[in-house]
Amino acid sequence: MEKLKQEDFVTLDFLVGILDTSESTVRRDLDELANEKNSTVFTEVLKEIVR
C-alpha cells in the first residue's frame, strides 16, 4: 500500500513479486474482487492498472 500511496500505481510484476504468486493468480483474484457485490472503486482502478 505504501508503494501505491507514493507512486499512485503498482505494476503486475510488483504484485506478483510481493505476493509471491503467479501472474494468473493475481489477475484471477483481482477479477474476483471486482465482481464481488461490495467491490470498491479502488479495486476497479487497480484492476485496470495491472492489465
pTM of the full structure? 0.60
Instruction: Between 35 and 50, name the one with better pLDDT.
Output: 35
The domain of 8 spans: 2-49
Digit-coded pLDDT (tens) for 8-21: 778 889 889 988 99
Q: In the prediction, which pLDDT does 45 show?
A: 67
Say what the pLDDT of residue 37 is.
Answer: 61
Number of domains making up the chain: 1
**14 within 8 A of 49, measured Cβ to Cβ:** no
